[in-house]
Structure 1
Amino acid sequence: MEYTYLGRSGLKVSKLCLGTMNFGVATDEKEAYRIMDAAVDAGINFFDTANVYGGSGEARGQTEEIIGRWFAQGGGRREKVVLATKVYGDMEDPNDGPNAARGLSSYKIRRHLDASLKRLQTDHIELYQMHHVDRNVVWEELWEAFLVHIYQGKIGYVGASNFAGRDLVKAQYEAKNRHFLGLVSEQHKYSLLCRWPELEVLPAAEEFGIGVIAWSPLDGGLLGGNALNPAEGSRSVRNQSRAEQRRDQLESFSKLCKELGETEANVALAWTLVHPAMTAPIIGPRTLEQFQSTLRVVDIQLNEDVLKRLDEIFPGPGGDAPKAYAW
């Protein structure tokens, strides 16, 4: 496994991040344990989850609970993991009252952080991420809320997710005014089929030393290689109409991957790592077999000719801002 710094922090994380959104939904607890054990054995130390993962109602939060029970088995499991979770969503807790709705008030951050720590059976979280922007909350409230928990040792670093470029700039400006490191990461949707972040988000992240974590790097499975010919009952069946609209691109992509002797999924994942702002793509395996197939991603080197062909198949937005807008 290869490692890199998480943004401009001194924390090193694996260049593949284990996503856990399927745990408790498409992946049962026993298989989730096998995947996490295999991830640690392979050198992956970066795990991502969220307080809302696991389903709705009483199932909400069960993904964190599964991870917590895995930690509780001991054997250094917790110590070997850089743990990332998120706050923002509605946990469907009646005790939250009018504050149950999505948001990032100091009140909500405190309550939901403590609940995550309990579910995860740990006393700290390395990376606590805002799952979305809340423009009803001023940064004076946000940074003071996070700083309290940093000083208490409950969280190590603060990250963002689904922020626009202007939100990253505002966050870092306000953090600098407090002589505070600010954001170390931005988790953002980015793939060969979703390249809009190249306009504003990725350049802003690179300039401000914010490590980007790519979610949905296979675009919901469209880049996984089976979207045009899905197995019955697979998730790819639900993507079939979208895949048909992209048939020419996906067929050209498959042809290129065959020439390279690599799977479509692994090439798509390796491509995300080319951008200098990228820390890691999130891999979200449902089975141990799927997990094992992704491990060689960090060994794949895409040369300039291959990158040019990928640009031809999946054109980007035409460069970063402001050049893409002005000329």
Structure 2
Amino acid sequence: MINVGILGAGRIGKVHALSLKKIVGVNVKSVADPYLDEEWAISQGIENRYKDVDAILNDDSIDAVYICTPTDSHADLIIKASQKGKAIFCEKPVDLDISRILKVQEILKENNTLFQIGFNRRFDKNFKKISELVKNDTLGNLISLKVVSRDPSAPPRSYVESSGGLFLDMTIHDFDMVRFLSHQNITEITAKGASLITDYGDIDIDTAMLTMTLEDGSFAMIENCRATTYGYDQRVEVFGTKSNVNCKNVFDNSVEITNNEGTSSDKPMYFFLERYEDAYYQESVEFVNSINNSEKVSVGIEDALESALMAVAAKKSLEENRSVTINEIREEFNIKVK
């Protein structure tokens, strides 16, 4: 039996707790949150309920922790959990500072810690299928890849102020998707962005278009927006020399109504919790299997670092109105260039 402690029981912490409870051989033993919803925790049969995360970190009976706290606490909690010998699952990002991510990477390596980062979209069955098609050469040589990711509603100013900005908060998932789908790293990024739909343009953009060059010279594009009028817009297209593949939006149902006024259907699923419900479950299944089988996870600290480097490059491109190579960012932080 794997005993798990949940650090942070907000929206995403509850999602992970529910996913873990479906997995045989897992016991969500403890949860910690300064504003813990006691009624919810009791209803889930969670034995230990704390306000302080240290109560879980210091418990030798806890085998693994899920870090679902605010971003600015992730790095410190990863380091503490690693030093306590826990397997670690952490929501993205590891930190907003590349230097801190490098420190975390060093500690994880020193302690031989099993670590998984929460890039849940890799575990969506549709995106996973596309990744497999690219890998087995069904599409031939890659020509271009496009990711569209638009949220249904913009977050409040208070959230944006501490988020690290659009690229580190939102686009970071899409950077990882480009790497996952193409099986390549990005070498160069050109980013354009503006505040077109929100009233906090003084602190961040809400819309972005990014073009990227991949290792083999092919291209990728990411389109982001903080809000739509029609739900959670998540689409992918990959174009190769042999074929083209599309992944369209997911709907609650596929019913179409046709009459003399035209054809209508439901809007896409409204938010990420519904759209990626199964992906959250599948990423926990992999994490648990990795613990049980002493295997390396498929998405770890290296992937967290790569996507963060891309986010920093995108921010620099936007600010300086030029293309930026990932190796330029690597050199800034004394990371070996690729």
TM over 0.5, yes or no? no
Structure having the larger proportion of residues in helix:
1
Tell me the TM-score normalized by structure 2: 0.34
Tell me the TM-score normalized by structure 1: 0.35
Structure having the larger proportion of residues in strand:
2
